[in-house]
Chains A and B, each alone.
Chain A
Amino acid sequence: KNEVEQSPQNLTAQEGEFITINCSYSVGISALHWLQQHPGGGIVSLFMLSSGKKKHGRLIATINIQEKHSSLHITASHPRDSAVYICAISNFGNEKLTFGTGTRLTIIP
């Protein structure tokens, strides 16, 4: 079992819909990262969380440390939000990031 599991793997929605992407992990962490990767593009850091909730524009990230679960929400989704969203954790056991396999989001106009 991977240390980081994301769901769904693929998500297609209409423009304007509220989007939720989930990330579950199985080890103690120091922080959880949400990253965005556009097709053929680089990877951009969206959020880094160790507790609670963060908001940036239409994006909201939450984390529940006790349940080992994080969600990334997108409000009023737009076609430009189409990308792969990647969850990664930094755990206390080592110095590296462990990545989920990503959620491919497609927003249809």
Chain B
Amino acid sequence: NAGVTQTPKFRVLKTGQSMTLLCAQDMNHEYMYWYRQDPGMGLRLIHYSVGEGTTAKGEVPDGYNVSRLKKQNFLLGLESAAPSQTSVYFCASTSDRILMNTEAFFGQGTRLTVV
């Protein structure tokens, strides 16, 4: 049981380049989330999905797009990378709404550097 798997683990982009981060979970979870982690700050929610075919904005959605075409996959896209998007990105999934006190499962993280 792999849980939540993120690819790639590391990436260096030049300003203006695009890329897609993939999150895959094998727990049949409905809810999936993308967070970014920056020094001195708590994890911040970028976008989330409450089920296949749905997406919603989180706290810091600007500059990112997401898609959830399949229940097990949640993709995070950067159309035109900026140095401010240098961060560690984490994907997470839950079986139910956060308010239902459900445990969150996280991926290993993707360290992205934009130069």
Taken together as a complex, chains A and B put the C-alpha atoms of A30 and B99 apart, in Å, by 6
Q: Which residues of chain B are near A43, meaning CB under 8 Å?
A: 90, 92, 106, 109
Given pairs A96-B58, A98-B42, 19 additional interface contacts (CB within 8 A): A31-B101, A41-B108, A43-B90, A45-B104, A45-B105, A50-B101, A86-B43, A88-B43, A90-B99, A95-B48, A95-B99, A96-B98, A97-B43, A97-B104, A99-B42, A99-B44, A100-B42, A101-B40, A102-B42
Task: List the A side residues contacting B107 at CB < 8 Å.
Answer: 42
| Interface residue ranges, A against B (CB under 8 Å) | 2, 4, 30-31, 33, 35, 41-45, 48, 50, 86, 88, 90, 92, 95-102
Chain B stretch 45-60: residues in CB contact (< 8 A) with chain A: 45, 48, 58-59
Q: A4-B42, A86-B42, A102-B42 are in contact. Are A97 and B106 (CB under 8 A)?
A: no
- By beta carbon, the residue of chain B nearest A96 is B45
Residues of B within 8 A of A31 (CB): 101
B14 at the interface (CB under 8 A from A): no
Contacting residue for A48 out of B42, B90, B101, CB 8 A = B101
A97-B98 CB under 8 A given contacts A4-B42, A41-B108, A42-B108: yes
Tell me which of A86, A95, A101 contacts B97 (CB under 8 A). A95
